[in-house]
Amino acid sequence: MFVKARTLVAALAAASNLSLVQGHLYVWGVYVNGVDQGTFNGIRTPAYNGPPPRGYANSPVKDLDSIDMRCNVLGDKQVPQTIKVAPGDNITLDWHHNNRTKADDVIDFSHHGPALVYLTPDPPTENSFVKIWEKGLYEYGSAPFAPGKWATTSDIKAKNGIMNFRIPAGLKAGFYLVRAEMIALHEADARFDLNPRRGAQFYPACIQLHVAGDGQVELPSGVSFPGAYKYSDPGVHYDIYCSTNSLATAPCTTTYQIPGPTVWSGAWPETTEVALGPVSGEVTAPRWSSWISNSVVTSATFVGTPAAPVIIATSTYSASWSQKYSAPTPTAA
């Protein structure tokens, strides 16, 4: 009986999410102490996976062995802007799906799961990602097969895409990457390595930071991406429809363990929400002229409309992470 009911719930959720891009998301903006730093500034925005108007940059990563687990597709490429912060600053990430407005759906209502934030020196090294914030399942469902309340949907989606964390106290000055992540578990009752059509969906996003000040606290050893998660981890292979207190004898695990290491003891023990100022910059994504599909980079120009691309070049893309920090190329005046 449980299996049949669980299958019905999953089928209904899948029917509500027929489009491959419905409810997928990435970071569009960063606020520092409530001040917007400009749409896409400092953010290593993922590559588009196809030409306009049907390509999109909000796909999940599902292969836990892929380098894209680190900072998503194109995560190795610097962007011209680096956001300046100080220890103790309140950082707010603005996640969205289609546009940076209050009308945007942010993430599909079925994409329940945890939200996490890691910090690493830039560029990352082996075991350099340190977890500084996380939130997962925080309230059980009250009805049979109800998924409960999760960070992605009941918190961040409900707040129109807002995720908050703080720069650790006394953090040593230097260049860092924030690796923020949303994990959608609506198909995580299956494992991607056993069933590539399903499995947990990971949405990593990296932001370039320059921490200023005279702090002397260094990050401890952390984890590597890829490598931090395994398909068998209970936080990766999990049935969200078991996260209810109404099943007296459930044939599955009701509790949920967020994947990865524990939060670093040097992180702030609480998350502070601050009032946010107006958005600075565009609220829609610019038209793109290159995309990456199956490791092939296609560049194009357009004749007449965005729906008529003329291919001008192709090349093979392979992520190439530097071992040494180099300052990003500044934006032209």
Indicate the domain borders of the chain: 2-287
pLDDT at 7: 41
Q: Is the pLDDT of residue 34 over 90?
A: yes
pLDDT at 331: 56
Q: How confident is the model at residue 250 (pLDDT cuts 50, 70, 90)?
A: low
3 state DSSP class of 115: strand
The predicted model gives 12-38 an average pLDDT of 74
pLDDT at 219: 98
Which of 205, 165, 202, 153 minimizes the C-alpha distance to 45?
Answer: 205
- Token pair recorded at residue 195: 């069933």
Q: Is the pLDDT of residue 5 over 50?
A: no
Q: How confident is the model at residue 251 (pLDDT cuts 50, 70, 90)?
A: low
Place of tokens 């509500």: 16
pLDDT, tens digit (0-9, with 9 covering 90-100), for 96-143: 999 999 999 999 999 999 999 999 999 999 999 999 999 999 998 888
- Own/partner pairs, 54-58, CB within 8 angstroms, 24+ separation: 55/288, 55/291, 56/21, 56/24, 57/26, 57/285, 57/288, 58/21, 58/24, 58/25, 58/26, 58/97, 58/203
The predicted model gives 77-94 an average pLDDT of 97
Q: Is the pLDDT of residue 245 over 80?
A: no
Q: Is the pLDDT of residue 8 over 60?
A: no
User: How far apart, in whole angstroms, are the C-alpha atoms of residue 249 and residue 141?
Assistant: 15
pLDDT at 217: 98
Q: Is the pLDDT of residue 18 over 90?
A: no
Residue scoring higher pLDDT (305 or 90) = 90
Which DSSP string corresponds to 81-97?
--EEE-TT-EEEEEEES
201-211/83-85 β-pairing? parallel
pLDDT, tens digit (0-9, with 9 covering 90-100), for 295-321: 999 999 987 776 778 899 999 999 999
Q: How confident is the model at residue 47 (pLDDT cuts 50, 70, 90)?
A: very high
Q: Which of 52-66, 235-249, 289-303 has the lowest mean pLDDT?
A: 235-249
If one counts every other C-beta atom within 10 angstroms of the C-beta of residue 281, the result is 13
pLDDT, tens digit (0-9, with 9 covering 90-100), for 101-113: 999 999 999 999 9
If one counts every other C-beta atom within 10 angstroms of the C-beta of residue 1, the result is 5
Q: Are 136 and 233 in contact (CB under 8 A)?
A: no
User: How far apart, in whole angstroms, are the C-alpha atoms of residue 206 and residue 43?
Assistant: 6
- The percentage of the chain sitting over the pLDDT mark of 90, rounded to a whole number, equals 77
The predicted model gives 195-216 an average pLDDT of 97
Q: How confident is the model at residue 13 (pLDDT cuts 50, 70, 90)?
A: very low
pTM greater than 0.85: yes
User: How far apart, in whole angstroms, are the C-alpha atoms of residue 98 and residue 120?
Assistant: 29
Q: How confident is the model at residue 329 (pLDDT cuts 50, 70, 90)?
A: confident
| CATH of the structural domain 2-287, one choice from 2.40.50.360, 3.40.50.300, 2.40.10.480, 2.70.50.70 | 2.70.50.70
User: How far apart, in whole angstroms, are the C-alpha atoms of residue 44 and residue 123?
Assistant: 13
pLDDT at 49: 94
